[in-house]
Amino acid sequence: MNKNYVSLYKSGKFYNAFGDDGLILHHLIGYKFVEYKQSVGFPESAFGKVKSLLDDVDISYKVYDKDILIEEKKGNNKKYNKVLSEALKKYDLEKRLIRIKDKINNFSAEDLEKIIEGIESGKDNE
Task: Choose among 42, 74, 75: nearest CA to 57.
Answer: 75
Please write the tens of the pLDDT for every residue from 67-87. 899 999 999 989 999 999 999
pLDDT score at 49: 95
Q: Which CATH number among 3.40.309.10, 3.40.1170.30, 3.40.50.720, 3.40.50.1820 corresponds to the domain 5-124?
A: 3.40.1170.30
CB 80 within 8 A of CB 4: yes
pLDDT score at 65: 94
Dmax (CA) of the chain: 63
65 phi/psi in degrees, rounded to 5:
-115, 110
Domain ranges, ordered by start, for the chain? 5-124
Is the confidence at residue 125, as pLDDT, over 50?
no
Residue 2's pLDDT band, with cuts at 50, 70 and 90, is low
Please write the tens of the pLDDT for every residue from 4-59. 999 999 999 999 999 999 999 999 999 999 999 999 999 999 999 999 999 999 99
Alpha helices per DSSP H over the chain: 20-29, 47-57, 77-105, 109-124
pLDDT score at 103: 87
117/110 Cα distance (integer angstroms)? 11
Please write the tens of the pLDDT for every residue from 99-121. 999 988 888 889 889 888 888 98
- In one letter, which amino acid is 69? L
Is the confidence at residue 64, as pLDDT, over 90?
yes
Is the confidence at residue 126, as pLDDT, over 70?
no
